[in-house]
Amino acid sequence: MKIKALALISGGLDSLLSAKLVHDQGVEVIGVHFKIPFCKLNIRKVFPDIGIEIIEVDLSQEFLKLIEEPCYGFGANMNPCIDCKILMFSKARELMSRMGAKFVITGEVLGQRPMSQNKQALKLIKRQSGLDDLLLRPLSAKFFPPSLAEKEGWVKREELFNFNGRRRTAQMQLAKDLGLLKYSTPAGGCLLTDPCFCRRLQELLSHKELDLDNLALLKVGRHFRIGNNARLVVGREKDENDLLMRLARPGDYLFGPQKDLAGPTALARGLITPELTFLASEITSAYTDAVGLKEIEVLYRQVPAAKDNMHKILHVSKSRFAHLLI
């Protein structure tokens, strides 16, 4: 009977290589992808077929609590990388017995990320997650004492690596050697490292509006604070307009220009007064293709109502609302 291991799959090159290296040593590897609300990755589209099963586990609700007050602080923006890894590794440890796995594999590389992949942080994460020597980091294994998988002979230490630092030249060469010619971007990505997204997130937190629905909105369009308890999101192109329609929940307001005029869909959420519906209509009108028009009709309705109301708006410049942009 084959030994089983769980491989934490981010979607980037390092986790792919780590899973492949252990799989090729005869271990049955099950990939685990933890879904959090700050990553738009579709793991089943980006992860190549290397003969391992991928399961997805949603950590969205737990991550919301973590983002409000991380024990180990943030990185350069609002990325609580150490707390994030401890959460994911702890969940992996809980999954082990259910999946019949003997150890856990990650794609971490010593020195690759200044906050969470220095030697002290890697040691802390291993200890606080409860994994200890159940954790194997194949790409940097030779910098650490042998893990249980190595000591038991389930994995040959001599076939593991001593990669370190931020350059990924060695990983790209290894991918080529292993015949992995198609893979996602080497570094992966997280919205919590994006300064623009983090500015919106901080603003959301400051108004105590953090929930999964509002987080979904943060990833879309231009954002305006139109009232202390109200925001407006204006789509930038057709796909965003369509997405805003899908993200609208009961009580939200949807805005759009008159039928013969190209322009955005906008979504207002919060305590929306009649005065704020007019302001939202003005902002929506400012982003329409209203060349030569002095007055625009903006249609609006409160979800789930089907009937539109209408405001007649004198067309004004976008600059008038710049102070409301988040």
pLDDT tens for 91-106 read 999 999 999 999 999 9
Token pair belonging to 102? 């003997």
Residue with tokens 């796995």: 101
Sequence-ordered list of residues with C-beta below 8 angstroms from that of 196, at least 6 positions apart, any chain: none
Q: Does domain 4-191 have CATH number 3.40.50.620?
A: yes
Query: What does the pLDDT read at residue 185?
Result: 61
Phi, psi (degrees; rounded to nearest 5) at 115: -85, -50
Token pair belonging to 9? 């799959």
Please give the Cα distance from 212 to 230 (Å, whole number): 17
pLDDT (tens digit, 9 = 90+) per residue, 231-289? 999 999 999 999 999 999 999 999 999 988 889 999 999 999 999 999 999 999 999 98
Contact 20, 26 (CB under 8 A): no
Phi, psi (degrees; rounded to nearest 5) at 133: -85, 10
Tell me the pLDDT of the chain averaged across its residues.
Answer: 93
Q: Quick one: pLDDT band at residue 41, thresholds 50, 70, 90?
A: confident
Q: What residues does CATH 3.40.50.620 cover in the chain? A: 4-191
Q: Quick one: pLDDT band at residue 186, thresholds 50, 70, 90?
A: very low
* pTM as predicted: 0.86
What is the number of other CB atoms lying within 10 angstroms of the CB of residue 40? Answer: 9
Please give the Cα distance from 49 to 312 (Å, whole number): 55
Tell how far CA 107 is from the center of its chain: 18
Report which of 176, 89, 178 is spatially closest to residue 136, judged by C-alpha positions: 89
Tell how far CA 152 is from the center of its chain: 36
Report which of 241, 243, 110, 87 is spatially closest to residue 166, judged by C-alpha positions: 110
Q: Quick one: pLDDT band at residue 125, thresholds 50, 70, 90?
A: very high
